[in-house]
């Protein structure tokens, strides 16, 4: 049995993983899909003090209090920033690290540092006009090419996200290099996407790389295919230990 910790992206919550979670559980695995502070069912905790550090600690504390080890840690989109911070601090707890159409900032970078200036300015303006200058409204599901059947549901479920999460820099020690299995999965079914740069970075670092024909929310558009890849990643990681 493997243990998966699946971390959602901005504006989403643990709910986004329910299809993949149920499929992994059907294979007998333990699956955690934490909702980060301030969004989803924890949106009542939204405040201007929440930042990337808050969310990194959310996941580290889950691992600590659930007494988890040898986990498959997976981050989607903004969740890539979160799992990078987690992996840098507790690499000994991680058997495999997976990025799904996710940001992979370098040390000293924020998520905003990796975006084109136009996209960054759009988020800042949206926060100013809609979110009192410190919270950002969800990007429409159509922009991410979420499948038509799920778009209204995703719009209904998504919540405001703290701007500070995108502006805080990550300061890394390099401990992530101690993790023997790292995979990057790119979704190539939507455009324009900021994520091919991270796919290229992963290839340069000799991580395993995969491409799925999907919109950005792969766990909704291709849950069976993503589950299959997560199972294979766990099996490969187990075989190297």
Would you name the residues annotated as active-site residues? 77
Tokens 């969800």: give the residue.
Answer: 138
Distance (Å, whole) CA 233 – CA 241: 13
Cα separation, 232 vs 124, whole angstroms: 39
Q: What are phi and psi of 39, to 5 degrees?
A: -130, 170
**Spatial CA neighbour of 216 closest among 100, 82, 83, 104:** 100
Q: Which candidate, 179, 154, 167, places its Cα nearest to that of 52? A: 167
Beta strand 135-136 pairing with 161-162:
antiparallel
For residue 158, which of 58, 77, 52 has the smallest C-alpha distance?
77
């Amino acid at each position: 049995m493997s243990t998966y910790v699946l971390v959602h992206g901005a504006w989403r919550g643990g709910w986004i993983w329910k299809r993949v979670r149920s499929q992994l559980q059907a294979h007998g695995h333990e699956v955690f899909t934490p909702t980060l502070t301030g969004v989803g069912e924890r949106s009542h905790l939204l405040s201007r003090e929440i930042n990337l550090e808050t969310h990194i600690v959310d996941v580290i504390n889950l691992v600590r209090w659930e007494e988890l080890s040898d986990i498959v840690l997976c981050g989607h989109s903004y969740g890539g920033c979160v799992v990078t911070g987690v992996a840098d601090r507790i690499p000994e707890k991680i058997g495999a690290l997976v990025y799904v159409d996710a940001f992979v900032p370098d040390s000293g970078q924020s998520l905003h540092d990796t975006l084109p200036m136009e996209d960054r300015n759009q988020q800042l303006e949206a926060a100013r006009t809609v979110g009192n200058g410190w919270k950002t409204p969800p990007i429409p599901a159509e922009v991410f090419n979420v499948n038509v059947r799920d778009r209204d549901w995703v719009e209904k479920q998504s919540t405001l996200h703290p701007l500070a999460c995108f502006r805080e820099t990550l300061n890394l020690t390099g401990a992530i290099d101690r993790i023997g299995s790292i995979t990057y999965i790119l979704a190539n079914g939507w455009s324009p996407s900021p994520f091919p740069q991270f796919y290229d970075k992963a290839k340069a670092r000799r991580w395993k790389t995969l491409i799925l024909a999907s919109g950005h929310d792969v766990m909704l558009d291709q849950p069976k295919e993503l589950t299959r890849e997560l199972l294979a990643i766990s099996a490969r990681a187990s075989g190297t230990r």
